[in-house]
Amino acid sequence: MSSSVQDGRVTKHKSSSRRSSARRMSQSNQENKEQKKTQPLPLIERTNALPIEQFRSTYAPTISETFKLKNPTEEAEDSSIPDQTKELDYMLDLYTAKTIPSADFEACFGLIELTSSNAYDGSSVGWSPSKKRKEMKLPDMKYLIARRGSRSEGKDESEPAGGAILGFLSFMVTYEDGKEVIYCYEIHLSPEARGMGLGRQLMLTCENVGRHVGLEKTMLTVFKSNTKAVRFYERCGFEIDEYSPQPRRLRNGTVKEPDYLILSKMLDNDDPWETD
């Protein structure tokens, strides 16, 4: 028998009770697993789980389109002669940290080193090539690569069109202070690509990706010493974020100013950017 009478009470054997409890726990764990399978992932995790081809078609559907920018010609170096410009074709490629070609990755790192290593050296952060490379390879990092030229008709848009990298913007769809944001990690242009509007094109593309995903705002970090970059972001509509670090008063009474700013821009703001 599976039970016995003790002092007028009917009790079950402990071994039977333990087996029943184990079965209930196993059944509960299985139900929890099944429930988790049916629940959709949160927006950030769901977005970052997409293959790059699906991410591109869903959130950056126009990225493969060629765009034109006006380039000053050699004859137009005299600024008193207006409209002596010619338009050239440009295009963007989109990669993840895993899919970016190694040559493109090294070119992007080279641009950071060329344009920003001195700013890092003069900051509290310091310049560390190994740390920067590690950050650049974070799994959810994505890259917008700018090149001159147009994609050949019928060419797979996931393949680079060739040619030197003129600039890039790296970004991540992520959480920041509990908010769903698109965070611009880096934006750098080669010297010959400055002043033609390529930086604006990269930033606009990044913002549009954020809007397509349904994120709240764009965020970035900039060194205070990089006044040119600060002015560029201000023209793009960025403002100092509420979570930007504040001055700290040390024990000896000295006030320590942070050497960087956190800027942000709400993505529901459709006001046009200021003109130069």
Domains of the chain, with CATH numbers? 43-73+84-215 (3.40.630.30)
Binning pLDDT at 50, 70 and 90, where does residue 150 land?
A: confident
Q: Is the dihedral of CA 152, 156, 157, 161 positive or negative?
A: negative
pLDDT digits (tens, 9 = 90+) for 59-79: 999 898 899 998 755 444 455
Asked if pLDDT for residue 147 goes beyond 80, the answer is yes
pLDDT digits (tens, 9 = 90+) for 111-136: 999 999 999 999 988 999 999 999 99
Q: Kind and range of the H or E element at 220? A: strand 217-223
pTM beyond 0.95, yes or no: no
pLDDT of residue 239 exceeding 50, the answer is yes
Using H for helix, E for strand and C for coil, what is the string for 164-200? CEEEEEEEEEEEECCEEEEEEEEEEECHHHCCCCHHH
Cβ neighbors of 251 (< 8 A, separation 6 or more) are none
Interval 45-61: pLDDT, tens:
999 999 999 999 999 99
Higher pLDDT, 26 or 154: 26
Q: Does residue 148 contact residue 89 with C-beta atoms inside 8 Å?
A: yes
Q: What does DSSP assign to residue 191?
A: G
Residue 234: phi, psi to the nearest 5?
-65, -40
